[in-house]
Amino acid sequence: MGVSRRNYILMMGSSKRRSCCSSSRSSSWLVMLVLQLLVLMFQLVAFMGLHQGVEAQGSWEIVQNNAGIASMHTAVTNYGTVVLLDRTDIGPSQLPLPDGVCRNDANDESSTVDCTAHSAIFDPVSGTIRPLFIQTDTWCSSGQFDADGTLVQTGGDNDGFSKIRTFSPCAADGDCNWVETTTPLQNGRWYATNQRLPDGTQVVVGGRSTSTLEYVPANGAPVFLDLISNANDAQNDNLYPYVHLLPNNQLFIFANRDSILFDWTTNSVVGNLPTIPGEPRNYPSAGSSAMLPLSGFNGWTDPEILVCGGSTYGAFLNVAAELPASISCGRIAPLSATPAWAMEDMPLRRNMGDMVLLPDRTVLILNGAANGAQGWGNAQNPVLTPVLYTSTAAVGTRFQSLTATQIPRVYHSTANLLPDGRVLVAGSNTHQFYTLTGDLPTELRIEAFSPPYLSGNQPSINNPPSTFPYGSTYDFSISGGNPDLIEINMLSAPYTTHSFSQGQRLLQLQTTVPVEDFFGAYTVTATAPPSAVIAPSAYYMLFAVSQGIPSQASWVQVGNN
């Protein structure tokens, strides 16, 4: 690569012996040397570019080698801490409760006296874990944050079937803990989905052998939905239905391969949407879904829903772990005059994948397996490679494969966006009890994935607001990044379980042209969402994004509280 030391000496020696020769020969030698140096520079630039290309695929790090529990349900609080939650009827975990604290439960199917934790609060910055006490079984339950940041958690199995629990977050070194309320659900729910509504309540949809939806706090009797009935589905591929609040105040509800528009103010189905082609998409076939980002620049209209992955029918019913997972994604605009599914293929087959909306308005899809379905021992061939989906790119160019992890994450794994732009990945337990050996052991390690955008120069918000009333404007002072390519984006903190992030939402705020100040920073005026229909009142992570590179998020409470 370039001129060797020996050749350089020979060239110099040759030039000295021929110093009497013509100046044209000397010029030729100089030209050759310059060309060699140019080659060296070109090769160096090419090498640096290749190296940057490798870094640009993202990176993984283990942030906790032993969390003590395999998190089946995960949620990020407005303190930046992370709630980890597993089932209780699983026998002892690897995380002890404080001395003298034990769970006594005569109904427990495994340990009537259990002195280990099945929930914890985790600090992703320091890596510290504090055990939390929870009494009733949260196996395959559901949840969502309220406007004040309280996590409301509903249902489960056994003695948790009709239970409502709350968790008011605190810092990692605080003393917050779970509270078991005395008001039960009207219908017991196992494998249900929660969605926060504009009026401050939560709708809880479906569950195994539960073909209704209800509201928490209760608001009338439960409402029957044929969409989530088990009558026509022996495999019950309608569990953990995908529920999204649309900007026209209707709910998009998807189960198995069908979906409806539901008016929660009148408790009525107002539209039936086309059947998505391909395989079953909900638990236990286990695809995933996200509503693509909404934008203030188009008046918060034209929502689109993305559904990816799933399993061949029968993979769960017949415990046929060799059957292939789905490779397809469907995308639909449910409020268009003629809604239809636009189909495209992922780079890899995947079930049990988790979709995470990223602050640059892309969708990260990670975790899962290429064969089988959800359930104990029902999956094979873990998919280690995440993919990035860019909804604004042309068809055929929307997917990008990223750096693979070394840790399989299959049944009962989760993925959640952190305020620093990383994605926290936890859990994976394909066994009835904790099994720490074998090909797919119970996974107690917690990882963080740094998406490609974290390799760039991050902007920063100098004056983050703490509250953001509906329809108000705010002047953000931003340092770093490119002022000509700046966005202000808000993301909710969902409750993630079983390949679906309940309540996940990304809002691109309408902004003005940046104005530079005397100190090198610049001001961008952003307008808050107009109402709770667009942004149900809650804490959101607020990012400044420059050329696709996000700042550290600030927590902002959106609404008129």
Which DSSP string do the residues of 511-550 spell out, in sequence order? Answer: EPPPEE-TTS-EEEEEE--SSTTTS-SEEEEEEEEETTEE
pLDDT score recorded for residue 320: 62
Tokens representing 373 are: 């379905």
Q: Is 265 helix (H, G, I), strand (E, B) or coil?
A: coil
**pLDDT at 451 exceeding the cut of 90:** yes
Rounded to whole angstroms, the Cα distance separating 253 from 259 reads 5
pLDDT tens for each residue of 59-73:
999 999 999 999 999
Per-residue buried b or exposed e for 10-31, using 16+ beta carbons within 10 Å of the residue's own CB: eeeeeeeeeeeeeeeeeeeeee
| 123/64 Cα distance (integer angstroms) | 10
Confidence of residue 482 (pLDDT cuts 50, 70, 90): confident
User: 63: which residues sit within 8 A by CB, 6+ positions away?
Assistant: 124, 127, 424, 446, 447, 448
Is the separation of the CB atoms in 173 and 129 below 8 Å?
A: no
Using a pLDDT cut of 90, give the percent of the chain over it: 80
Q: How far is CA 249 from the centre of its chain?
A: 23
Specify whether the CB–CB gap between 187 and 205 falls below 8 A: no
User: How far is residue 346 CA from its own chain's centroid?
Assistant: 17
- The pLDDT value recorded for residue 232 is 62
Q: Among 89-98, 467-476, 513-522, which stretch is predicted with the lowest mean pLDDT?
A: 513-522
Q: Does domain 59-455 have CATH number 3.30.9.10?
A: no
Please count the residues of the chain. 561
Domain chopping of the chain, boundaries: 5-55, 59-455, 460-558
Higher pLDDT, 5 or 61: 61
- Give pLDDT tens digits for 128-154: 999 999 999 999 999 999 999 999 999
pLDDT score, position 52: 34
CA distance 56 to 37: 28
The secondary structure of residue 116, as a DSSP letter, is B
pLDDT at 33 over 90: no
CA distance 261 to 251: 6
Fold of the domain built from segment(s) 460-558: Immunoglobulin-like (2.60.40)
Query: How does pLDDT run across 177-222, given as a tens digit for each residue?
Result: 999 999 999 999 999 999 999 999 999 999 998 999 999 999 999 9
Q: Given this chain, do its domains 59-455 and 460-558 carry the same CATH topology?
A: no
Contact 110, 72 (CB under 8 A): no
Q: How far is CA 234 from the centre of its chain?
A: 30
Give yes or no for residue 3 having a pLDDT over 80: no
Q: Report the alpha-carbon angle 60-429-289, nearest 5.
A: 70
Question: Picking from 8-22, 57-71, 98-112, which range would have the lowest pLDDT averaged per residue?
Answer: 8-22
Give residue 560's pLDDT band: very low, low, confident or very high (50, 70, 90). confident
Phi, psi of 334 (to 5 degrees): -65, -20
Q: Which band of pLDDT confidence, cut at 50, 70 and 90, is reported for residue 53?
A: very low
Count CB-CB contacts under 10 A for residue 463. 12
Model confidence pTM above 0.75: yes
**pLDDT-based confidence at residue 322 (cuts at 50, 70, 90):** confident
**Which pLDDT score, from 0 to 100, does residue 317 have?**
82
pLDDT band at 29; cut points 50, 70, 90: very low
Strand partners, 55: none
Predicted local confidence at residue 483, as pLDDT: 84
202: tokens are: 């939560």
219-236 mean pLDDT: 86
Torsion of CA 333, 337, 343, 349, to 10 degrees: 40
d(CA 353, CA 373): 11
Q: Is 50 exceeded by the pLDDT of residue 161?
A: yes
Give 110 or 66, the one with higher predicted confidence. Answer: 66
Find, among 233, 280, 495, the residue nearest to 374 by Cα.
280
Work out the mean pLDDT of the chain and round it to a whole number.
90
Of 221-230, 268-277, 383-392, which range is least confident? 221-230
pLDDT for 518 equals 78
Query: Averaged over 152-166, what is the pLDDT?
Result: 97
Provide CB contacts within 8 A for 142, sequence distance 6+.
Answer: 153, 154, 155, 189, 192, 193, 194, 204, 240, 495, 497, 502
**Token duo for residue 355:** 């979709």
